Amino acid sequence: MKNSHVSVLELNLNALEHNIEYFKNKLQAGTKVLAVVKAFSYGHDAVVISKALEKIGIDYLAVAYVHEGVLLREAGIKTPILVLHAQIQNYQTLIEYSLEPNIYSRKTLLAFSKVAALKNCIDYPIHLKFNTGLKRLGLDPEDVDFAIETLQKTTHLKIQGLLSHLAASEDLSEKEFTEKQIKIFGNIAAQINAAFEHTIIKHLSNTSGIINYPKAHLNMVRLGIGMYGFGNTPAETAQLKNVGSLHSIISQIHEINPGESLGYNRAYIATKKTISATVPVGHADGISRALGKGNGYVTIHGLQCPILGNVCMDMIMVDITAIKCEEGDAVVLFDSQETIEEWAQKSDTISYEILTGISQRIARKIK
């Protein structure tokens, strides 16, 4: 059934391409770009975004879980896909869909080797992740010899990539810590390179790493939030373009007299005659309750309309007293990085959560 939600997240694929080129210009010639499309492409649309990325020749895609990779393969995506948090119980499916696993422990290495043998794989590509300071996922530096010996004993696996993750690349006050991570990774890479004759893709830098640590670009970088229009400083963000814009319409208009209340828990009580518009988006669509009671606003006919009372599950009510408008008129929830950042600040969160929180029941449409 076609999505009947009147609200829509418009996707600007020209903006996406602009952002990719902006970051490519920071790289040495020949450095590959891995585009991170996990979590529904940071809330945008994984299939639409991935098809656009494939069309412009992106080198790699990355998802968090196997089912995300399966979705892309079933949509016809042929680009190599790295699964960042592949689970052991999904390894057979991963192989069936030609996805590449991130191997992050002795247990996962042995488990995947066993499944690859059962599937009669030859030189199946894997990526080894080492912990250099984030302490989330990764083999320890002391596991290098174990990893080398395990891979040298099998013809079923081939190390395609070597990676780690920077913990604080956006924070220059943590430069010493980041430099230490880069050094640890360099030592691991040297040992791995010495053990194998083929070229291994090494990737360490996320968006902030691309910006702040050129020496950590290596031969591939992982571009995530930057691809969608956000740098690690306002100056960097200003060079990028917003990819997703959230729009809706006015469902109904009400007149509220002084002393009358609006919404759940009577969170808004009018002190003067007020005209409200009901808009069909709510916290089930990703509109934080923290934006209620005047903390957030929408834009109608170019003017800001504060949110009145509490954000409901499926609706918000906004103040249109000073605006001449009608039911069915267009409403802009956000259409710029600045508004998204403002939402994040007022919701005590980050832009990532605002974007990934936009419900998939909201229709996505290419602008």
The amino acid occupying position 189 is A
Q: What are phi and psi of 160, to 5 degrees?
A: -90, -40
Q: Distance between CA atoms of 238 and 229, rounded to whole angstroms?
A: 9
Residues annotated as part of the active site: 38, 264
Q: Which residues contact 290 (CB under 8 A, 6 or more apart)?
A: 296, 346, 347, 348
H/E stretch holding 261 = strand 261-262
- Give Cα separations from 243 to 17, 20, 109, 364 (angstroms): 10, 11, 37, 12
Q: Which residues contact 261 (CB under 8 A, 6 or more apart)?
A: 267, 268, 269, 270, 309
Closest CA to 280 of 12, 40, 8: 8
